[in-house]
Amino acid sequence: MSTMTDMNDTPAVHYAVFGSPLGELLVTGDAHGVLTSLSVPGQKGGRSVGAGWVRDQRLFAEAGRQLDAYFAGELKDFTLELRPEGTEFRRRVWDALDAVPYGATTTYGEVAARIGASRAAVRAVGGAVGANPLLVLRPCHRVIGADGSLTGYAGGLERKVQLLTLEGCI
């Protein structure tokens, strides 16, 4: 099995599909199993299987095991290698999401402060949170409005409610 596409010699995208309470989860990564995205059906900006992609459930078996344990309420912290693509600013925001513990929430303003950005950067932080390519694994669902409202979620507000309920936040 080749890990290069025939058309342009770029590394092939490897993927696996796992069932979950949120629907089918599409996990993508490289030939070494390093994760680059996790999408749910209908996700704003989510991925779908492309031409030349290589399906390999075994490559991502540990991701599937951890996701199953998370949805069963048995796992609070993922220990998977993640390598999403994004600007330096987005990566800083995504790293800040990792610091929000299971069962807790934070606000966009708190994320901005955590990365050393000004209050004026809250909209940019919201854009970066919304562009998170690793739903569930990188907990953007834990970010709420300053007034406690459940603001947007790329996977849909009903899924955000499911995740926050699972974690005991609501």
**Any idea which residues carry the catalytic annotation?**
140
Beta strand residue intervals within the chain, DSSP E? 14-18, 25-29, 35-39, 54-55, 106-107, 143-144
Cross-strand bridge partners of residue 107: 144
Judge contact between 14 and 35, C-beta under 8 A.
no
3-state secondary structure of 35: strand
3-state secondary structure of 88: helix
Number of residues that make up the chain:
170
* Cα–Cα distances in angstroms (integers) from residue 117 to residues 27, 124, 162, 166, in the given order: 31, 10, 30, 31
Which residue shows structure tokens 């994320």?
111
CA–CA gap between residue 83 and residue 29 (Å, rounded): 8
CA–CA gap between residue 100 and residue 30 (Å, rounded): 26
